[in-house]
Chain A
Amino acid sequence: MSESTATDIENRVRGFIAENLLFSKNGYPHTDETSFLETGVVDSMGIMELVMFIEEDFSINIEDHEVIPDNFDSVCKVGSYIRQKMTSAS
């Protein structure tokens, strides 16, 4: 496991979505379980931006076929996915 702690990962993901996709100054206004797809929190272009952010910020390589709702449809799922990728890379 890298230096990133569980809370740190989710914090960075929430922070990115809040600032860059929701343009919010008050943080991420939803729960970590909120489905992006069901609620429209993040749209299709937003998912692409989120993928690019994660690749860069966490230095992991995301394959096209991994960008599916099971891995990317909530802060919670994104957090688990990042941890899994970091573990398998270490």
Chain B
Amino acid sequence: MLVHEFLERSAERTPDKVGLICGDQRLTYAELEASANRLAHALCARNLNRGDRVVLWLPNTAELVVSIFAVMKAGGVFVTMNSTAKADKIEYVVKNCGACALITSGRNAPIASDLLLDVDSLQSIIYGSPLPDEDTSSNSLSYDGIQEEYPDDRPEKVNIDLDLACLIYTSGSTGEPKGVMSDHSNLVFAARSIIEYLENVEDDIVINVLPLAFDYGLYQLLMTFKFGGTLVLERSFAYPAAVLQRIQDERVTGFPGVPTMFAVLLQMDLRHYDLSSLRYITNTAAALPTTHIEELRRTFPSVRIYSMYGLTETKRTLYLPPEQLDRKPGSVGIAIPGTEVWVEDEQGRRLGPGDVGELVVRGRHVMRGYWGDDQATSERYKPGALPGERVCYTGDLFKMDDEGYLYFVSRVDDIIKSRGEKVSPKEVENVLYSMRGVLEAAVIGVPDPILGEAVKAFVVVDGEDIDENTILAHCKAHLEDFLVPKYLEICSELPKTASGKIQTTGLT
């Protein structure tokens, strides 16, 4: 099965059912399919070949949903980027994956036009709404124009399930984002496995406030279209009250979130809302504090709460069956259906209960590696027991209890988890160092009751004309929102090791 067949099969089975609610738009499966077909034809007409990459730099909109499926229908590979990503990162990704097309909002036209001139592989820009003020290039098209011009019949299938479906760029400890390659079979398997334990049915209505550039958000879309439910797609969680109202109005049954969102919700007066339609809540990206689990249980006594763990490199890895939540609130559970995991020491020996080691994952959700980075791929994905097989080394330390339930201990690397997103200290430090007058920089995570960890930067500057706001403005101009330091301290010097390397261990 191919991933875009999730949409096609739902469109065949229930063409008139509303598959997507986004703002004021309510789109049926038939409408979504027709739109995706038109855009797929347009991409093919612009010479998209099998396996070509298309970068989607859009907020959570119907245009993004249609684009994801259109790229796959055309035989391409979609690459979703956070809409708050800045020009430097988009340029890096477009070049890194050799994208042939970019679909973005007209607001980004100045950046997109420059990329079209500078990046050889990039042949076309498609603008969603709002359209750019000036359309100067013959290589740019409008999403709306395509919808009027191209036919809505289904394009001929060109891929098999071993072909790539998407690249999801994720932060790494080197500071440069790496594109995790997922083939169709990886995504189909992972979606099927998650649907199995969440017990999703066609009547489920899932609300998604997470960016579709984040794999947790993306899978809400893919899974919902697979089981033929309805996805309520929100731009963000910026207005929690509006999200709660949406849950009430649309009778939402599934609510996926990250710890920051639940921390905010638990501070609110929820009595204004009828949330009785909720059947389940899921949490991943970082562990929920035990106190939050207890409060969520009290607030939503009849809702099934799933604590989960995963990494983009295998999508989802572990889930805690909700009936175990009261017994094992600190655990993130067991391997998802159809997969296996174990804890291993540095010599490659499997460890028993209580021993701390690296979590290793085996299954068809183990992705294909990092785009164009054989070294990083070979460090993360290593040969398994069977010939040709690869297993994923998560880089996270875990321990197991006597019943096989797993507990997260710590990360092997220095990645920070803030707002549920991965923050590479190196990526933030690189941006700090790119500022004139910054001599030294170090970035760490500090505990934060809402964010989980907050990003804190220590900077040594040359001269007095650089203040905190100047540095933060520079960060804001070059980094996505969640990467911008919440705290910044200008220091006279930073602690160093004997060899002169900056030492972050003593910083708080």
Residue numbers of A with Cβ under 8 A of B are 19, 22-25, 36-40, 42-45, 47-48, 63-69, 72
Contact = CB atoms under 8 A, between A and B. Distances in A.
B473 interface: yes
Contact of A64 (B84, B235, B268, B419): B268
Listed from nearest, the 9 A-B pairs whose CB atoms lie closest are A23-B473, A44-B238, A23-B472, A43-B481, A23-B469, A64-B268, A68-B242, A65-B241, A65-B272
B299 interface: no
Nearest to B454: A45
Interface string B257-271: 000000010001100
B241 A43 contact: no
A66 B272 CA distance: 11
B130 to A, nearest CB: 8
A39 B461 CA distance: 32
Contact of B241 (A22, A36, A48, A66): A66
A67 B241 contact: yes
Interface string B433-473: 00000000000000000110000000000000000011011
A22 B268 CA distance: 27
A45 B481 contact: yes
Nearest to A63: B269
B107 interface: yes
Contacts of A19: 469
B237 A22 contact: no
B238 A36 contact: yes
A44 to B, nearest CB: 4
A71 B239 CA distance: 10
Contacts of A68: 239, 241-242, 245
Given A37-B235, A68-B241, A69-B239, A25 B470 contact: yes
Contacts of A42: 238
B236 interface: yes
Contacts of B236: 37, 43-44
B476 interface: yes
B240 A40 contact: no
Contacts of B339: none
A33 to B, nearest CB: 13
What's the interface size class on B, roughly?
20 to 34
Interface of B: 59, 83-84, 107, 235-242, 244-245, 264, 268-269, 272, 419, 450-451, 469-470, 472-473, 476, 481, 486
A45 B269 CA distance: 19
Given A23-B472, A23-B476, A40-B83, A64 B239 contact: no
A43 B486 CA distance: 13
Given A23-B469, A67-B239, 11 more contacts: A23-B473, A25-B470, A25-B473, A40-B83, A47-B239, A48-B450, A63-B269, A65-B269, A67-B240, A69-B239, A69-B242
A48 B281 CA distance: 23
A22 B419 CA distance: 19
A44 B269 CA distance: 18
A22 B235 contact: no
Contacts of A38: 59
User: Residue among A38, A65, A68, A69 with the most chain B CB within 10 A?
Assistant: A65
B110 to A, nearest CB: 14
Contacts of B244: 65
Contacts of B469: 19, 23-25
A38 B236 CA distance: 10
Contacts of A44: 236-238
User: Residue among B238, B242, B470, B472 with the most chain A CB within 10 A?
Assistant: B238
Contact of A22 (B107, B450, B470, B473): B473
Contacts of A67: 239-241
User: Residue among B264, B419, B469 with the most chain A CB within 10 A?
Assistant: B469
Contacts of A43: 84, 236, 238, 481
B209 to A, nearest CB: 9
Contacts of B481: 40, 43, 45
21 contacts: A23-B470, A23-B472, A23-B476, A24-B469, A37-B238, A40-B59, A40-B481, A42-B238, A43-B84, A44-B238, A45-B481, A45-B486, A47-B238, A47-B239, A48-B450, A63-B269, A64-B240, A64-B268, A65-B272, A67-B241, A72-B239
B328 to A, nearest CB: 31
Contacts of B486: 45
User: Residue among A23, A36, A40, A47 with the most chain B CB within 10 A?
Assistant: A23
Nearest to B272: A65
Contact of B476 (A22, A37, A48, A66): A22
